[in-house]
Amino acid sequence: MANQFLIKETADAMRNLSTIEIAGLQGTNATYLGVELLGYYEKGDTPAPIRYYLSNTAEGDDGGSEVATFEWTLS
C-alpha cells in the first residue's frame, strides 16, 4: 500500500484521523503519501479531489501549486 493516498470522504473525517492513520503518514518509510479529500461537507461537493501531503521544501504556500507545509501529530 506504500505510495498511495489515504482516502477520506469529508473534511470532518480528515480532522478525525486515527492514531494508526497518522502513524501511516509519518516517517521516512510512511505507508501513505498524504490524504486525498473527496469533498468538504460531503463526498463530491468539490470540483475535484484535494490532495494534502507533506511538503519536502522549507518554503510555505506559494498560492496554489504547492500545499502549505504541515505536520501530522499524535494527540
**Host H or E run for residue 51:** strand 50-53
Which one, of 12, 4, 20, 2, lies nearest residue 43 by Cα?
12
Domain that holds residue 45: 1-75
Does the pTM surpass 0.75? The reply is no
Q: Which pLDDT belongs to residue 53?
A: 77
Report the domain count for the chain.
Answer: 1
Q: Which pLDDT belongs to residue 75?
A: 39
Radius of gyration over every alpha carbon of the chain, rounded to an integer in angstroms? 12
Summarised one tens digit per residue, pLDDT across range 11-69 is 899 889 999 998 888 877 888 988 999 998 999 998 888 888 766 666 655 555 544 44
